[in-house]
Chain A
Amino acid sequence: MSILERQVPGVVMTPDHIRSRKLPVVTNVLVAVAAFAVAAVVVLGTGIGNWVLAVVVGAFLYLVGLYFAASRVEGKRAAKNRSMQALIYSACVLAILPLASVVWTLVSKGVERLDANFFSTSMNNIGARDPLGGAYHAIIGTLQQVGIATLMSVPLGVLGAIYLVEYGRGKFAGTVRFFVDVMTGIPSIVAGLFILSFWVLIVSPWFNNGQPRFSGFAASLALAVLMLPTIVRSTEEMLRLVPGPLREGSYALGVPQWKTILKVVLPTALPGIVTGVMLAVARAAGETAPVLLVAGGAAAINFDPFGGNQQSLSLFVYQQAGDASRYAPARAWTAALTLVALVLILTIAAKLLARRNKLSR
């Protein structure tokens, strides 16, 4: 028998006295019902708003009522605790609503054009009154641009991370690390403008008889600029997790440092690095602004990333969204659904891979 339940004669120390009193759940529910009822009567009765306002006012009244009910039973501090908890919970519900709405809209509007034609045709010769037309050229463009960007940014990013973890000491390494972090925040449109002024306006005329030319390769350059800091950061974190004794064991066997890095450190950290790369790829696949500025977009299929305008999925969504044709919104939503599916599959695969990673944080 616990001391809390034992009755000591003469001493007033029953459970009621030593445990603080709790607000009964029934009271809690009653406050809620009363709050929403009052809100509904006031708001709908006077006609100053619809049910959304009633819910908002009801939630507010519930918080106030809960505070007063709890402060009478439990005291002010506990009441404040309760109110803050209720506020935090409602903020979570509030944040889930837009996400749910986005997902629902994507699926409900996206399935309208989700057919074989959409994935096998381009927008070439598709007029405003033509209900068909698809995103084949955009998918090709996205895959090529992101693929080339990955090929460029992964070696550079992994090498940069190796420098930061294995070789970098002193001020210079600190500066590089700082600016890698700063670079993650560079807006994508600025990266697009950079490639526009550097590649499209200055370099591409050399190969094209003095005329500036949009190309898918320019888009992959811009995407590589955006992917680079993300890859450096995630790889750096993974390399730091590789246990020091592994390296020391390798050094003790007389293996030079570069070989240790390539044969011991990198393979150990590989799953983590792949996760970071996949997240960066997912990010890059969704970028619209740089592609708009340097690849230009196109209606026809273009397999050559170096020759002329190319489309990408995100840009396709943006252009169809701005199109006046009554069939354009359906195409935009289906392309958006495709894009989100691509990005989410990559992200979820990356996260699952991260979970299987043996190097735990």
Chain B
Amino acid sequence: MGDYPSRSVNATAGDLGVTPRHAQGAGYGNSPSNYNEPPLGGGGALPKKTRFSIETGFRGLSTAAGAMVLVIIVAIAVFLISKAVPALQANNASFLTELKWFPNDTEPVFGIAALAFGTVLSSIIALIVAVPIALSIALFLSHYAPRRLATPLGFVIDLLAAVPSVVFGLWGRDVFQQPVRDFSIWLNEYFGWIPLFGGEGPFGQSIMLGGLVLAIMVLPIVTSLSREVFQQTPGMNEEAALALGATRWEMIRTAVLPYGKPGVIAAVMLGLGRALGETIALALTLSIAFKINFNLIENGGNSIAANIANAFGEANETGRGALIASGLVLFVITLVVNMTARAIIYRRREFRDSAA
């Protein structure tokens, strides 16, 4: 990781000429009050500091580029709100609690409740399946595998992250659906008394298929982030645990996992953010249903993002506004999740750097 703030501070240490004026204290050195005069104390040979130079221009340009990120985030919120408000005003139902989605009718009725429920449910399934496996792989790569095996396997996991979501969606629909259907029928036969696995069928294109495909897609990101965290465990802590006679698993439990806990939480939340926003894979694997239903194996399920992809084609003006409104909700949810995750990472980083 490139987390060496001290180094970047040093990078400009020999260059007082470009230190921003506001960064200098009130009684800073013996710098002249007027910058048109050469500074006192041996700086007379330096070129005069001009008001407008390429330096100022370049600094301004790069600052503007940095600020562009903030501008884009604000612009996303502003433009989504501006297009969503007219549709929300035309809505004849409560946007937050309504289940149905008929924004294209002359009397538009639409609400986000069922969609938000499907989004959260599929993401939770994905995390429940993916997180234990991802943490196991991360531990395997960082503490079990010999180096010869860990490097290529980590490479493969990274490649898995690069495969486009539409490919996973296609695979989920054409290949993975059949085993999931068989499994669903089996679950329904033997565990049908649990409401999660009840129902009459048909099975297959269910929230479970979508959740499992999502799990495969969030697996690489959780793996690579938590692997990085596990690798940063101080060697001293591990050696101390081993020297006290701990087995390898006890060493991991007492030294690696506690050290990595905040990082793992952040990795899981980033995975959650990815799962919440996933569009095409769910659009291909779920069969559309607008209801709140805890049954995991019957055909159905929906999500905010998948609904946008599916319903966009035949949307009129209000329909588009309604989809944008649902996208706004998705934006806010993912923003909150991501900001929480990043805040955890940042606090941990400050802690680590100050300790080092």
Contact = CB atoms under 8 A, between A and B. Distances in A.
A286 B66 contact: no
Given A91-B132, A164-B66, A99 B162 contact: no
Contact of A244 (B11, B167, B324, B331): B11
A159 B64 CA distance: 9
B18 to A, nearest CB: 5
B35 interface: no
A289 B308 CA distance: 9
A85, A157, A196 — most chain B CB neighbours (10 Å): A196
A353 interface: no
A188 B166 contact: no
A62 interface: no
Main secondary structure on chain A at its contact with chain B? helix
Given A96-B156, A247-B14, 20 more contacts: A85-B248, A91-B132, A92-B140, A94-B133, A102-B171, A155-B65, A163-B66, A165-B11, A169-B20, A180-B69, A181-B342, A182-B339, A185-B274, A186-B331, A240-B2, A244-B7, A318-B280, A321-B173, A336-B166, A361-B1
Nearest to B74: A179
Nearest to B327: A193
A102 B173 CA distance: 12
Contacts of B335: 182, 186
Contact of A321 (B65, B155, B216, B284): B284
A185 B337 contact: yes
A30 interface: no
Given A178-B342, A179-B70, A228-B69, A247 B166 contact: no
Contacts of A48: 190
B186 A49 contact: yes
Interface in B281-310: 283-284, 305, 308-309
A185 B270 contact: yes
Interface string B199-230: 00000000000000000100100000000000
Interface string A241-255: 111100110011000
A284 B168 CA distance: 16
What 4 A-B pairs come out closest when comparing CB atoms? A187-B277, A286-B164, A91-B136, A159-B65
B309 A163 contact: no
Given A80-B247, A185-B274, A351-B155, A156 B164 contact: no
Contacts of B115: none
B89 interface: no
Nearest to A337: B167
Contacts of B53: 256
A40 to B, nearest CB: 17
Contact of A248 (B8, B13, B83, B171): B13
A244 B8 CA distance: 7
Interface of A: 48-50, 52-53, 77-78, 80-81, 84-85, 87-89, 91-92, 94-96, 98-99, 101-102, 105-106, 109, 155-157, 159-160, 162-169, 173, 175-176, 178-191, 193-194, 196-198, 201-202, 225, 228-229, 232, 236-238, 240-244, 247-248, 251-252, 256-258, 261, 279, 282-283, 285-289, 292-293, 314, 317-318, 321-322, 329, 332-333, 336, 339-340, 343-344, 347-348, 351, 361
A289 B307 CA distance: 11
A183 B166 contact: no
B140 A88 contact: yes
Interface in B1-48: 1-2, 4, 7-8, 10-15, 18, 20, 23
B356 interface: no
A166 to B, nearest CB: 7
Contact of B175 (A49, A105, A322): A105
A189 B72 contact: no
A297 to B, nearest CB: 9
A46 B79 CA distance: 61
A327 B35 CA distance: 75
B167 A336 contact: yes
B240 interface: no
B243 interface: no
A84 B250 CA distance: 10
B73 A179 contact: yes
B105 interface: no
24 contacts: A48-B190, A52-B179, A81-B250, A87-B136, A91-B136, A91-B140, A95-B134, A162-B62, A162-B65, A166-B8, A178-B339, A179-B69, A188-B279, A189-B277, A190-B76, A201-B83, A201-B320, A225-B72, A257-B58, A283-B162, A292-B312, A318-B280, A318-B309, A321-B284
Contacts of A314: 164, 166, 280
